[in-house]
Amino acid sequence: MTETVLLVGGGGREHAIARALADDCSLYACASNRNPGIRRLADGFETVEETDAVAITEFATEIGADLAVIGPESALAAGVADALDDAGVYAFGPRQAEARLETDKAYQRRFMREADVPGCPDFEVFDDMDAACAYIDEYDGDLAVKPAGLTGGKGVKVIGDQVTAEEAKAYLRDADYDRVVLEERLVGEEFTVQAFVADGEFRATPAVQDHKRAYEGDEGPNTGGMGSYSDTGNALPFMEPGDYEDALDVLDAVVDALPDYKGVLYGQFMLTADGPKVVEFNARFGDPEAMNTLPVLETPFIDVLTAARDGDPLPALAFSGEATVCKYAVPDGYPTNPDSGARIAVDEDGVGDALLYYASVDEREDGLYTTTSRAFAVVGLGDSIAAAEAEADEALSAAGDRVRIRHDIGKPELLEERIEHMTELRE
């Protein structure tokens, strides 16, 4: 039977989800922007805000959706999964209560402490900013300052890395957040493991390293992610045997403690000298990380979705064993002062064997326009990270002058630096 699937969201991550599903189901999509890649793969497309649970549920009912996949966290936070489930459309994505794992960082840390999830850094939660500032003074060492709510990955300030203690205090006083988490600064290399979760079990995908900083050499402000890479196996070159498995133990403990969780569980880890510690959890695929994972997933993604919905055991996952490198093209000035509304040209035939994913672009009658967020990405695949990188970079050679790219992501020199960094930390 052909399933009718509704995809919520219009970014690069959702284009990757659409491509993983389009051949195996009747796909419909809804998002606030018109993503040309998704629109072409879908049998129908509706423009709606991703947070409009009522409109999304109406659209799902109208098309007779059997299933829904929710891309962005904003939709989860708005209760879109709850609304779809309640309307009889199984949503692959957690309900609001479980999505708090991502949407409320104070809840996330307290949950880890109470459920005894391994890898939790030392932390305190404050709703009084004066008390938070006093804690910064008292705490002998570096801290990460995190607003408890969603900030699109851009609200965290790490003392001793991005800001001084004085700047962190000024930030807390000016921003006037309701609640912040202050936690031990973790030092090491970051990596992500995403898993499919349903009925108290999970299936994990290979580790990915994302690059959040805006400029080459990991300089500049944090972004949603400028690009990412994965290797031919589950681990990354800077990891040692056992590190990936330690990360799976963390995901296992979360899934055990949240039996109603369903959808994608994204663990963001810092590989420290003492092994992986949890930077955060997300309740959905990463963007760009979905673009690393889904192209190498050989198990039909629809089989994961239907098993989750039907209460069947999730299928064992097979991967192609290729390395991937994803690079984003972002509007000039992104993230601080993005050149939105710029008309850009994307040469679809010029990307060669690389995969092209459209992200936050808007398709109008006379062409493609940037928004305030990342525009499009390419993914190279190969039998090594270096081969995948070369394919991705070549694909971007004609990207045009109104977008910016971090060419360094996935290059051998950068990988070497990561390995040296971890070797030094372990000594």
Sole binder of ligand AMP in the list 121, 276, 338, 410 (CB under 6 A): 121
Q: What type of residue is 273?
A: A
Contact flag: residue 287 with ligand GLY (CB under 6 A):
yes
Question: CA 244, CA 236: separation in Å to the nearest integer?
Answer: 9
The residue (of 59 and 92) whose beta carbon lies closer to ligand GLY is: 92
Could you say which of ligand AMP, ligand GLY, none residue 158 binds, taking C-beta under 5 to 8 angstroms by partner kind?
A: ligand AMP
Could you say which of ligand AMP, ligand GLY, none residue 156 binds, taking C-beta under 5 to 8 angstroms by partner kind?
A: ligand AMP
Sole binder of ligand AMP in the list 65, 156, 193, 265 (CB under 6 A): 156
The residue (of 109 and 309) whose beta carbon lies closer to ligand GLY is: 109
Backbone φ and ψ for 230, nearest 5 degrees, come out as -140, 160
Q: Residue 293 is inside which H or E element, if any?
A: helix 289-293
Q: DSSP strand E in 199-340: where?
A: 201-204, 209-215, 219-230, 263-272, 275-282, 323-331
Could you say which of ligand GLY, ligand AMP, none residue 185 binds, taking C-beta under 5 to 8 angstroms by partner kind?
A: ligand AMP
Q: What is the CB neighbour count within 10 angstroms for residue 34?
A: 18
Could you say which of ligand GLY, ligand AMP, none residue 287 binds, taking C-beta under 5 to 8 angstroms by partner kind?
A: ligand GLY
Tokens (6 digits) for 111 = 């949950």
Contact flag: residue 100 with ligand AMP (CB under 6 A):
no
Q: What is the CB neighbour count within 10 angstroms for residue 86?
A: 13
Contact flag: residue 158 with ligand AMP (CB under 6 A):
yes
Contact flag: residue 144 with ligand AMP (CB under 6 A):
yes
The residue (of 24 and 190) whose beta carbon lies closer to ligand AMP is: 190
Whose CA is closest to 92, among 280, 235, 285, 268?
285
Helix residue ranges per DSSP H, 122-264: 129-138, 165-175, 243-257
What is the contact mask toward ligand GLY in residues 213 to 232, using x (rule: CB under 6 A)?
------------x-------
Sole binder of ligand GLY in the list 286, 295, 338, 410 (CB under 6 A): 286
Q: Which residues of 274-284 are buried (b: 16+ CB within 10 A; e: fewer)?
A: ebbbbbbbbbb
Only one of the segments 78-86, 110-118, 184-192, 241-249 lies at the binding site for ligand AMP (rule: CB under 6 A); that segment is 184-192
Contact flag: residue 381 with ligand AMP (CB under 6 A):
no
Transcribe 31-51 into DSSP letters.
Answer: ESS--HHHHHH-SEEEE--TT
**DSSP class of 205:** -
Q: Are 321 and 296 in contact (CB under 8 A)?
A: yes
Could you say which of ligand AMP, ligand GLY, none residue 225 binds, taking C-beta under 5 to 8 angstroms by partner kind?
A: ligand GLY
Angle at 351 between CA 349 and CA 353, to 5 degrees: 105
As measured in angstroms, the least distance from the Cβ of 11 to ligand GLY is 10
Contact flag: residue 155 with ligand GLY (CB under 6 A):
no
Measured over the CA atoms of residue 154, residue 156, residue 158 and residue 159, the dihedral's sign is positive
Backbone φ and ψ for 377, nearest 5 degrees, come out as -135, 155
Could you say which of ligand AMP, ligand GLY, none residue 94 binds, taking C-beta under 5 to 8 angstroms by partner kind?
A: none
Sole binder of ligand AMP in the list 50, 280, 389, 408 (CB under 6 A): 280
Contact flag: residue 289 with ligand GLY (CB under 6 A):
yes
Q: What type of residue is 339?
A: D
**DSSP class of 319:** B
Q: DSSP strand E in 148-235: where?
A: 157-158, 180-184, 189-198, 201-204, 209-215, 219-230
For residue 316, the Cα-to-chain-centroid distance in whole angstroms is 22
The residue (of 150 and 248) whose beta carbon lies closer to ligand AMP is: 150
Could you say which of ligand GLY, ligand AMP, none residue 280 binds, taking C-beta under 5 to 8 angstroms by partner kind?
A: ligand AMP
As measured in angstroms, the least distance from the Cβ of 299 to ligand AMP is 28
Contact flag: residue 210 with ligand GLY (CB under 6 A):
yes
Only one of the segments 27-35, 44-52, 279-287, 314-322 lies at the binding site for ligand GLY (rule: CB under 6 A); that segment is 279-287
Could you say which of ligand AMP, ligand GLY, none residue 267 binds, taking C-beta under 5 to 8 angstroms by partner kind?
A: none
Q: Are 409 and 418 in contact (CB under 8 A)?
A: no
| Contacting positions for ligand GLY (CB under 6 A) | 153, 210, 225, 282, 286-289
| Contacting positions for ligand AMP (CB under 6 A) | 121, 144, 146, 153, 156, 158, 183-186, 190, 212, 222, 268, 279-280
